[in-house]
Chains A and B, each alone.
Chain A
C-alpha cells in the first residue's frame, strides 16, 4: 500500500494534480462505493460460475432477507462510527428487544404495534444508559463491551424459564413473511424513483449558473443508474414471491438516514463531530448531544433488526442476537466504507457491506462448503477492509497529518 504514498505530496500545494492521485482521492471519498460494488460483482461472478442457482430470483430473495438484519444493525453502527465511537453490544441488544416484543405480543397479548414500540423503547433506554457513561468519559469500547455482557444476562432475565418463545403463526411472524406483490412493488419503486429524479432536478436548478456540470450529467446519469438498480431489483424479486416487507423497511430506513446525514444540518454536524471534535465544539456544535443522537439511532435500529430477525426465525431464544451477528454488522459497516476513525462513509455503507458479507455467506452455504470457510472469509474481508480504511484515513491521502 505504500506505493500510493508517492503521488501524495504533489496533492499538497499544486493546482493541477496527477490523474492517478485524483483517482485514488475520488475512490476514497465521493466514489468510495465503486470499489465495493466491484468486489460485490466479483463475488457474485465467482459463486455464479460455481453454481448457477446463485443468481436465481429465489436465492436472491433469500439473500435479501438474510442481509436485512445485518444491514439495519450496520446502519445503526454507521451512525455511531460517524461520530467516532464504536459499539459491540447492539447485536445482543437486538435479541433483548425482540424478546421484549415477543413477551408483550405473545405472552401478554398486547397489540403488535404496541409490543414493537415496547421493544424499541427498551433499545432506546439501554443505549441511553450506555451513552451517558460514554459522555462521562468511559471509552465506548469498554462501555459497550460491558453492555454486551450485561445484555447476555438481561436476555436470560426477559426470556421465560424455558428460554424460548415461539412466534410461528402469529401476527409477529407475518412481518418477515409478508411479500408485496410485483405490481404494487413497481408502483412503490416508480414513486420513489420519480421523487429521486425530482430532487436531483431541483438541486440542479437551484445551482443555476453555478452548476459545473450539465443537466445530463447531474440529473440524467444518476436517474438512469438509480432506475436500473431499483427497477432491476424489484423485477428480480417480483419473479419470486414479490418484494419482502423487511426489504422495504430497510430501504425506507436507508432513505431517511441518507437524507438526514447528507442534506441536513444535523448530518453536517454528525460528520464534523467525527472529523474533529475540538473544532466542532468551537464551532458551537453540541458535541455530546450529537453522540447521544447517534446512539439513540443505534438503539432504534437494533430493536427493528431484532424484531425482523425474530420474525424471520419464528422464535426468540437465548441465542437471539448472538453468534456472528455482531461481527457481521460491524464488518458490513466497515466493508461498505464507514471509517472506524470517524467522520467518513455514508449510510449506504450498511447496505453495500451487508450485501458483500451476506453474499459470501449465502454462496458458501449454497456450495455446501463448511462453516469454517465462511468464518475465514468474513474475518479476512473485515481485516482487509479495515486495512484499506487505515490507508485512506491515515495514509497517503492526508499529507498534512499522519
Chain B
C-alpha cells in the first residue's frame, strides 16, 4: 500500500465505515462507502456538488440512517439513531450553516442545549459563572478571540462565529469533530483562522473530518483526502501523494471515466 510509506504513525482507529449505502427514493446518495478516521489526523472529504459528502457526514452524526453497511466507533459496531447518540459516542458536528443563535451571547451559544444548571426546584437556574469559565477555557484552547462573552454573536465576524461554532462542538470534549464546509463564505484572513482551528483540533489529538470545496485549503490541512463522486468513494490520497490536477481529475471523473464501471 502506498499509504504506509507516508503515514509515519497512526493513532487509534476512531471511526470505521464499511460499505455504507444510503438512498433517497431513487437517488443513490451513498454507495458502498468505506472510510476510516484515526486519532490526530485530518481527513478531507472532497467532491462535486451532490457527490454525497453532506449525506455521509449526516450518516456519521446520526441525522440520517444508512440503508446498509456498518459503522464502528473504536472497533465497536454502533447504530447512531439520533444526533444525541452520535454525541455520546464522541462525534460532534459543525454544520455548514453554523447553527448559532444570533440573539444569544457566546456563552449561551456554546452551551446551548447542554447548560450547566442548578436544582429543579429553583427552576434549573443556569450557572453562569461556571459556564463562563469553561467557555473561556475552550475558546482559549483554540485561540478564538471574541470581544466580549456577553454580547450577542450576531454582531461578530464570520470567522469568529465559525470559531464559536467549532468550540461549541468541543464543550463535551468529543474525540471526533466533523466540519461541513467550515470555510465557505469566509474572507481570506478568516479562512486562515479557521484552518488554524482545524490544525489545533488535530494537535489536541482528535480525529477531524472536514468537507471542503477549496482544494487549496484541503492541500494545506489534510493528512488524507477522500474523493467522492456520485455517492461513491472514487479515490483516496495521502499527504503529498497528489497534485491539484490529480484531485480535479478524481472529482470530475475526467481520467477515471473509462475505468469507473469496474472500479465501482
Q: Name A's B-contacting residues (CB within 8 A).
A: 11-13, 15, 17, 25, 29-30, 203, 206-208, 210, 259-260, 263-266, 268-269, 271-272, 274-276, 278-280, 282-285, 342-344, 397-401
- Establish whether residues A276 and B129, one from each chain, have CB atoms under 8 Å apart when the complex forms: no
Q: Chain B's nearest CB lies how many Å from the CB of A258?
A: 12
Please tell me which stretch of B36-44, B64-72, B110-118 contacts chain A, meaning at least 4 of its Cβ atoms lie within 8 angstroms of it. Answer: B110-118
Nearest 7 A/B pairs, CB to CB: A283-B113, A275-B101, A275-B103, A343-B103, A279-B99, A284-B113, A13-B157
* A264-B104 contact, Cβ under 8 Å, with A282-B83, A282-B99: no
Separation in Å of the B237 CB from the closest CB of chain A? 32
B47 to chain A minimum Cβ distance, whole angstroms, is 24
B125 part of interface (Cβ distance < 8 Å): yes
Chain A contacts for B152, CB-based, 8 A = 29
- Compute how far the CA of A306 lies from the CA of B108 in the bound complex, rounded to whole angstroms: 36
Give the contacting residue for A265; candidates B124, B136, B145; CB below 8 A: B124
A266 to B113, CA, bound (A): 10
Q: How far, in whole Å, are A17 and B156 apart by their CA atoms in the complex? A: 12
Are the CB atoms of B104 and A268 closer together than 8 Å?
yes
Tell me the minimal C-beta distance from A213 to chain B in angstroms: 11
25 interchain pairs (CB within 8 A)? A11-B155, A13-B190, A15-B145, A29-B151, A264-B124, A268-B104, A268-B112, A268-B115, A271-B101, A271-B108, A272-B104, A274-B103, A276-B99, A276-B101, A279-B99, A280-B101, A280-B112, A282-B83, A282-B95, A282-B99, A283-B114, A284-B83, A398-B102, A399-B155, A400-B154
Q: Which residues of B contact A12 (CB under 8 A)?
A: 155-157
* Band of interface residues on B: 35 or more
Apart from A25-B155, A344-B103, what 7 extra A-B contacts exist at CB < 8 Å? A12-B156, A13-B190, A207-B129, A265-B124, A283-B112, A397-B155, A400-B156
Given the interface pairs A284-B113, A398-B154, A399-B155, the reply to whether A268 lies near B95 with Cβ below 8 Å is no
- Residue ID in chain B nearest A264 by CB atoms: B123
A266-B123, A283-B113 given; A398·B155 CB < 8 A = yes
- Answer yes or no: B84 CB below 8 A from chain A CBs: yes
CA separation between A15 and B155, bound complex, in Å?
12
B223 at interface by CB-CB < 8 Å: no
Chain A residues touching B, majority SS: helix
Q: Whole-angstrom distance from the CB of A359 to the nearest CB of chain B?
A: 29
Task: Say yes or no: is B233 at the interface (Cβ < 8 Å to chain A).
Answer: no
Q: A29-B151, A268-B112, A272-B112 known; A283 and B124 CB under 8 Å?
A: no
**Complex Cα spacing A109 to B51, Å:** 72
CB atoms of A264 and B100 under 8 A apart: no
Chain A residue at smallest Cβ distance from B84:
A284
Does B161 lie within 8 Å of A400, measured CB to CB?
Answer: yes
Do B133 and A210 have beta carbons less than 8 Å apart? yes
- On chain B, the residues within 8 Å of A29 by CB distance are 151-152
| Complex alpha-carbon distance, A25 and B132, angstroms | 21
Partner of B102, one of A210, A264, A269, A276: A276
B113 proximity list for chain A (CB < 8 A): 269, 280, 283-285
| Cα distance, A393 to B84, chains bound together (Å) | 32
Q: Tell me whether B126 and A263 are in contact (CB under 8 A).
A: yes
Residues of B within 8 A of A (CB): 83-84, 95, 97-104, 108, 112-115, 117, 122-129, 132-133, 136, 145, 147, 150-152, 154-161, 190
CB contacts (< 8 Å) of A17 on chain B: these are 147
Q: Kindly provide the distance from the CB of A351 to the nearest chain B CB, expressed in whole angstroms.
A: 21
Given contacts A268-B112, A275-B103, A282-B83, contact A259 B123 (CB under 8 A): yes
Residues of B within 8 A of A13 (CB): 157, 159-160, 190
A397 to B152, CA, bound (A): 10
Asked whether B108 lies within 8 Å of A268 as measured between CB atoms, the reply is: yes
On chain A, the residues within 8 Å of B129 by CB distance are 203, 206-208, 210
Q: Return B62 CB to nearest CB of chain A, in Å.
A: 11
Assuming the contacts A259-B123, A397-B154, asked whether A265 and B115 have C-beta atoms less than 8 A apart, the reply is yes
Task: Please name all residues of chain B whose beta carbon is closer than 8 Å to the beta carbon of A208 when the two chains form the complex.
Answer: 129
The interface residues of chain A lying within 8 Å CB-to-CB of B156 are 12, 400
Q: B99 is contacted by which of A265, A283, A400 (Cβ under 8 Å)?
A: A283
Contacts of B190 on A, CB cut-off 8 Å? 13
Whole-angstrom CA separation of A12 from B159 in the bound complex: 10
Could you tell me if A285 and B112 are in contact, using CB atoms closer than 8 angstroms?
yes
Known contacts A15-B145, A210-B129; is A275 also within 8 Å of B123 by CB?
Answer: no
B123 touches A279 (CB 8 A): no
B112, B133, B156 interface centre (most CB from chain A within 10 Å): B112
Taken together as a complex, chains A and B put the C-alpha atoms of A265 and B136 apart, in Å, by 20
Q: How far is the CA of A15 from the CA of B156 in the complex (A)?
A: 10
Residues of A contacting B98 in the complex (Cβ-Cβ under 8 angstroms)? 279
In the assembled complex, how far is the CB of residue B84 from the closest CB belonging to chain A, in whole angstroms? 6
A210 pairs with B99, CB closer than 8 A: no
Task: State A264–B113 Cα separation when bound (angstroms).
Answer: 12
Contact A271 B157 (CB under 8 A): no
Q: B154 contacts which chain A residues (CB < 8 A)?
A: 397-398, 400-401
Q: How far apart are the CA atoms of A203 and B126 in the complex, in Å?
A: 11
User: Given A280-B112, A399-B155, are A260 and B103 also a contact pair (CB < 8 Å)?
Assistant: no
Inter-chain CA distance A272–B102, complex, in Å, is 9
